[in-house]
Structure 1
Amino acid sequence: MITRKDLETLYSAEVIVTLSPEESQKLRLLQDDSRFLAEIGLPRHAPPFFTTEVSGGPEFLLPIDIPTSSGGIHREVIIGGPPGDAKMRFSLDTDEGFVTLVQLAGKPRFEVANRNLAEFVEFIYLIDSHRRRASDHPDEAKDSLAELSLRLMSINSVVFEEPENWWSIALGHLSAMEG
């Protein structure tokens, strides 16, 4: 599991976003997510797949309440999006803890990106670690990408079952970038 030290080693403390328990409570986050954001956090910017500094709306940490057919309210909280893509957002489901990818343009599309916030941040961390390693050692990029794929699939293989799923596309993008 990812630690605060892992994030600080890769990014630096200044670019890690954390929330106080009070802020998490206002957003109605689950206890595990609240603790994760207070103790570990998430990177502000991890190109090319994630940033909290989204362009356009909905903005970072905006809660979106969706009426349910049973008369209740389902809440999603925006946690970021792909850099430069104003039409996609990652959101945190405050009932189940899933991280979903939401396509805002055209017909809205939702996809579970990860089972929980900790897993999502670990994916971001592992991908960015690989990307930096491949940049520093291009001759090792192919082997590093193969190791990354195996590692991510060992964490959650379900998110790779469809070639159109976000993480399948992300790995394909990395493979194309590294030739």
Structure 2
Amino acid sequence: MISAAERGAAAPRKDSRPSRHARSRNGCTRPGRTPLWSNQEPPRPPGSRSASRRGTRRAAGADMRVLQEYVKAWGTDNMVRYPRSRWMREFPAPAAAYPGVDFLPVDMPTVFTSHLTGRYELFARIDVARGPAGPLQVVVVGAVPADPEATLFCLDIASGRILMLGVKDRTLELVNSSFKALSEFLYHFALFVDQDTGRAGRARRAAVLRATLAGIDPAAFADPESWWSVTFMQLEYRTA
């Protein structure tokens, strides 16, 4: 949970944002979204310059497999790039907190969207007042689909955590312990959605998915009132 000291007013500060267009799965054009081009190079893992070429090739091959799996899960027309390399250079968050890919889904039913319509733009930088502790600096990476103007997903640039910012009430809640964990959650959730065959059996499958995600990031479910806890409670009980 986020301490009371990390709650306060937020003031926007613009960062870079995409300049092209991508289409969501329903075919609607999303302004200001950069599509994932088919000739994109896979992300390169950090490592020593003295590593063997064979080891480098193995790492690059593993990264390519991860990239292909995420592209398949999210859809080539349902992704937006974020400046992963630049953020890793400029922000103090540890490298391990970042996903292995430099893109996010545009739309993920129920749980995530990067199509923002409110006060803050995608990748806007926000200073959240914390009193004597100084501002907490976060970057907007998405929003809750049901309320994209008022409930944002933000990257804590110091720790790499993903926090939920309530724009109106100026509240913060923990969503995931790292940006990487959020990306993995959205990947597995996409598989869950794609494999859905209807109401029958959905609650059981949701329970299995919850167990998988809890293994990836236990902190996301530590609070029964957290975003992911409430989301899965609805999936498991309302669809039973």
Please give the TM-score of this superposition, normalised by the length of structure 1. Answer: 0.81
Shift of residue 175 of structure 1? Answer: 2.3
Q: Deviations over 1:110-159 (max 9, x none)?
A: 1111111110011122123213322x254432331121011111112222
Shift of residue 48 of structure 1? Answer: 1.0
**1:147 aligned to 2:208?**
yes
**Bigger radius of gyration:** 2
Q: Deviations over 1:60-96 (max 9, x none)?
A: 1001134665675532000010113021000001111
The corresponding residue for 1:63 is 125
Please give the TM-score of this superposition, normalised by the length of structure 2. Answer: 0.63
Which structure's residues are more often helix, by fraction? 1
Q: Which of 187, 192, 207 is the matching residue for 1:130?
A: 192
Shift of residue 26 of structure 1? Answer: 8.9
Shift of residue 31 of structure 1? Answer: 6.3
**1:19 aligned to 2:82?**
yes
3-state SS of 2:164 partner: strand
Shift of residue 172 of structure 1? Answer: 1.6
Q: What percent identity do the matched residue pairs reach?
A: 20
Q: Which one has more relative contact order, counting CA pairs under 8 Å at least 6 apart? A: 2
2:76 partner amino acid? A
In the alignment, the residues of structure 1 paired with residue 182 and residue 190 of structure 2 have an alpha-carbon distance, to the nearest angstrom, of: 12
In the alignment, the residues of structure 2 paired with residue 143 and residue 21 of structure 1 have an alpha-carbon distance, to the nearest angstrom, of: 36
Stretches of structure 1 lacking an aligned partner (at least 5 in a row): none
The corresponding residue for 2:141 is 79
The corresponding residue for 2:233 is 172
Equivalent residues of 2:110, 2:146 under 8 A apart: no
In the alignment, the residues of structure 1 paired with residue 125 and residue 206 of structure 2 have an alpha-carbon distance, to the nearest angstrom, of: 35
RMSD: 2.9
Aligned length: 176
